[in-house]
Structure 1
Amino acid sequence: MSLFSSRGVVWSGVLVVLLFLGSAGPVHAQSNGDGSIYSRFGLGTLQDFSSSQSQAMGGGAYALRSLNYNAMGNPALWSDQIFTRLSAGVGVQRIAASDGGNPTSYLSSGQIEAVQFSFPLYDQTLGVGLSFQPYTQRNFRTRKNGRLDLQVSPPSSSDDGVAEVPYDVNFRGTGGLHRFRGGLGYRVTDFLRVGASADVVFGIMESKRSTEFGNVPIRDVTTSDRVRLVGVGGTVGAHLALNNVFQSDDAFSVGGAVMLPTTLNGTRVLTLAEGSPIASDTLSSVDGDVSLPWRSRFGVAYQPNARWTFTADGLYEPWSTFTTTFQQGGTFARSFPVGGTGTLTDRWRASVGTEVMPAGTDQLAGYLARVAYRLGAYVERMYVRPNGTTDLDTYAVTGGVSLPTSLSGTRIDLNLTAGTRGTTSGSLVKDTFYGVSLHVNFGERWFQERKLR
């Protein structure tokens, strides 16, 4: 295939991604549908995505070197690039939520998982990485029923002047935070690589509470609590690669990255009657900030040969150190939508994964032998405690296939995830979730100087 035609395929992929982004609506409306009730707490459900390869292998792979993927979890790995690479993925998730008593609720949502772009400044020495992806997601919906005693005037002879009026209170959360990351990875020696990035975190989170009285002549009331946040942080990473460790021609890698603490500044606006028959009225508007904790990642990867890869990874975030100035005084202290320290705890995650490509490096093997088959699992201690005391865990298995294409360096990945989140004890909710995602990873050599013979 000619250079022009293959680049045409790459730019066609870029156009498809841009059209998808444009049709997705405003940036704060990152999700479509309903998700876990636990996204109501803290900053919402935390999103972890490094690459489609990593996602199918338990979500870690912070030490895994690859020429076919943008490994955004560790900027030190950007130094290994040969291809200019564009990756994009979308996913959908189905959740069955149960509190152990009422009928199970079924929820569905979809979102863009990541758009990533990277290229080498010097082949396998100095590389650039750029990415845009969700950082948190808030997409819950719940309802509470009640009755209101209403004084009737004048009372009739058949009652005591009090009527019971039924009402519904609907809670709805939307939006979330996004992260734009850009940085460099550099190979110091054949064994050591380092990298760093600047991370811009921004977004809008909104919580609405609507009280509806049905056919009773009482006006429905809606309050909206919206917070807009933005801040700049950073990530630093390192990677150590060793060969011939346990046997001839094997590869053993150790990698880690730390996302530094980040302060987000923003504005919180509380409005009344937005979307109801009476006009909207701004009740309060205050400025404040939110301090995100640091996040550490660490992993090991082992490749005994070109066919097999094994990974083991860990993640830790001290969310118990979370602070915000929005909670100081006034109405906001009672209903701040990003939660308080009483509902947050330290988060950790452990994962393992494996990949097998039967053909190894043989590009002339049959198609199925050149497909990469992946499997993984993870366990996570969630960072929210809705009742302030009960720790919540997530258990999941992952898997996927990576399909080669006629373009060298370009693969299409299909990934699956299934697991459980939370518990039904203590009047809480247990989620059983299933997810599927599709990722396209374009890779091509650019910026090559032609040599005359």
Structure 2
Amino acid sequence: MAVPALALLLLLITSPAQAQSNGEGSIYSRFGLGTLLEFSSSRSQALGGGGYALRSLNYNPGANPALWSDQVFTRLSASAAYRSISTEDGRGNSGQLASGNIQAIKFNFPISRRTLGVALSFQPYSRTNYTVTQSGTVPFGPRQKTEAPYEVSFTGSGGLHQLRGGLGYRVNEVLSVGASANFIFGILESQRRTTFEESAQGLRNVVVSDGTRLSGLTGTFGTHLTLADVFAPGDALSIGASATLPAVLTGEQFRTLDEDLARDTLATRDGQVTVPWQGRLGVAYQPNARWTFIADGLFEPWSAFSSTFPPGGTETAPIQFPVGGPQTLVDRWRLSMGAEVVPAGNSDLAGYFAQSAYRIGGYVERMYVRPVEETDLHVFAATAGISLPTSLSGTRIDVNTTVGVRGTTSRSLVRDTFFGVSLNVNFGERWFQRRKFR
């Protein structure tokens, strides 16, 4: 049986060449299409990341298009996050990773108040981001009696983005439906940079890069049910579900060689990858105006992933090409739950912090990458956040935090411990109102 790709990478990290891991992101982003990113709204992010049945007038939920029918305000939201990752293996080697990024930019507006709403959004779909460095010496000079120090850096960068647009429609007081068109595009790139010290005259620094440019369309369909007075007078039970169709992403794979400052394209090839469908199901329960509880599940059959690009990238990195074959991919699932409390409930006369929303949640996920056979990788995380009202009606500022672990140190793999914080601004205002004269 062939040695697993990630194990080869870790052999470099722990070799006598004194390699180390640093940079931004996770080594696991080297597989498939990179680390998959989930963000529906800042509210659902603090509640474990689901919220597929969570109705809201103050947010732009993205996971279920049926929820867009609830809009009253024209709403613009933006979210930025910072994440720190500590990586370690079973031999005590460790590295510190960090990154900052935009989570989403969304624009929603109602065509008919609480009946028909439009949504547009732009957000990352996946990210490839890691760096592994290996140092050593090679024989050099007359009769190769001199040792020339060198450094080889293996890096991954880029990712896919998603541009969405769609409609949500409320059929009646119980049922809502919605649909969106999703355009996925971006570039995944891996690079091997070899550098020598200035004393090694005659040895040239070389950079070999492999990249894949992809784009394609898919669609998401959603439905939502709202039931009142289910367990007690005044309560509300919501059930939401959505499905995203499989996507065929077409593009080209290219290899370039940089020698000093000149870049040459060595080869290009066309191909395509098939991204599997995705299913989401969620439940939200509000016993009163103060409390909200949610539970959600997600499933993606990545074992059905296919690619016409040849796997490998053998010259650029000791591990698999970013768009690798299905042998390292498995079905992905995610379970999450959370709770929210607003001490003031619906009262507008309570104090500032009584009108703030306090949230807590968590999730467990089986990752869609499995570099070593029969070793599933999981993510365990806890989330929390506070939502602060402002003097502008319909506008809130959210601060969220996430802490968790990913992967394992067994079987020559690595474990990531991550901490993240995000700032989210949700601006809402009434537009397109017809003025009335008396």
Q: TM-score, normalised by structure 1?
A: 0.87
In structure 2, the residue matched to 1:317 is 300
Q: 2 CA distance for matches of 1:328 and 1:88?
A: 37
**Residue 35, structure 1, aligned to residue 39, structure 2:** no
SS in 2 for 1:280: strand
Structure-2 change in CA distance of 1:52 and 1:318 (3 Å)? same
In structure 1, the residue matched to 2:211 is 226
Residues 5-61 of structure 1, C-alpha deviation per residue, up to 9 Å, x if partnerless? Answer: xxxxxxxxxxxxxxxxxxxxxxxxxxxx61111111111110000000000000001
Q: 2 CA distance for matches of 1:50 and 1:279?
A: 43
1:244 is displaced (CA, Å) by 0.2
In structure 1, the residue matched to 2:372 is 387
Query: Could you tell me the percent identity over the aligned residues?
Result: 60
Count of residues in Structure 1 that have an aligned counterpart in Structure 2:
412
CA RMSD in angstroms comes to 1.9
Residues 334-393 of structure 1, C-alpha deviation per residue, up to 9 Å, x if partnerless? Answer: 953222211111110000000000011111111010000000000010111123442111
In structure 2, the residue matched to 1:247 is 232
In structure 1, the residue matched to 2:428 is 443
Q: 2 CA distance for matches of 1:109 and 1:406?
A: 32
Structure-2 change in CA distance of 1:51 and 1:329 (3 Å)? closer
In structure 2, the residue matched to 1:29 is none
Structure-2 change in CA distance of 1:439 and 1:292 (3 Å)? same
SS in 2 for 1:55: helix
| Paired AA for residue 107 in structure 1 | L
**Residue 174, structure 1, aligned to residue 157, structure 2:** yes
Residues 73-106 of structure 1, C-alpha deviation per residue, up to 9 Å, x if partnerless? Answer: 0000001111110000100001111113244211
SS in 2 for 1:78: helix
| Paired AA for residue 417 in structure 2 | T
**Which of 337, 359, 364 is the equivalent residue of 1:352?**
337
In structure 1, the residue matched to 2:291 is 308
**Residue 397, structure 1, aligned to residue 387, structure 2:** no
Structure-2 change in CA distance of 1:147 and 1:103 (3 Å)? same
Q: 2 CA distance for matches of 1:42 and 1:242?
A: 40
In structure 2, the residue matched to 1:68 is 58
- 5+ long unaligned stretches in structure 1: 1-32, 156-160
In structure 2, the residue matched to 1:6 is none
Q: TM-score, normalised by structure 2?
A: 0.90
Q: 2 CA distance for matches of 1:147 and 1:389?
A: 37
1:188 is displaced (CA, Å) by 1.1
**Which of 391, 403, 408 is the equivalent residue of 1:423?**
408
- 5+ long unaligned stretches in structure 2: 1-22
Checking the alignment, whether the CA contact within 8 Å between 1:326 and 1:332 is kept in structure 2 is: no
In structure 1, the residue matched to 2:183 is 200
SS in 2 for 1:117: strand
Matches within 5 A, 1:117-196: 117-148=107-138, 155=143, 165-196=148-179
In structure 2, the residue matched to 1:237 is 222
In structure 2, the residue matched to 1:339 is 324
| Paired AA for residue 35 in structure 1 | G
1:149 is displaced (CA, Å) by 5.3
1:253 is displaced (CA, Å) by 0.5
Residues 423-453 of structure 1, C-alpha deviation per residue, up to 9 Å, x if partnerless? Answer: 1111111111000000000111111112233
1:322 is displaced (CA, Å) by 0.8
Q: 2 CA distance for matches of 1:216 and 1:100?
A: 36
Checking the alignment, whether the CA contact within 8 Å between 2:24 and 2:97 is kept in structure 1 is: yes
Q: 1 CA distance for matches of 2:373 and 2:271?
A: 24
**Residue 286, structure 1, aligned to residue 269, structure 2:** yes
SS in 1 for 2:43: helix
Q: 1 CA distance for matches of 2:299 and 2:53?
A: 16
Moved more, 312-321 or 215-224: 215-224
**Which of 102, 124, 138 is the equivalent residue of 1:112?**
102
Checking the alignment, whether the CA contact within 8 Å between 1:49 and 1:114 is kept in structure 2 is: yes
In structure 1, the residue matched to 2:15 is none
**Which of 72, 85, 88 is the equivalent residue of 1:95?**
85
| Paired AA for residue 105 in structure 1 | G
1:272 is displaced (CA, Å) by 1.1
1:164 is displaced (CA, Å) by 5.4
Q: 2 CA distance for matches of 1:122 and 1:203?
A: 35
**Which of 74, 86, 92 is the equivalent residue of 1:84?**
74
**Which of 219, 241, 247 is the equivalent residue of 1:262?**
247
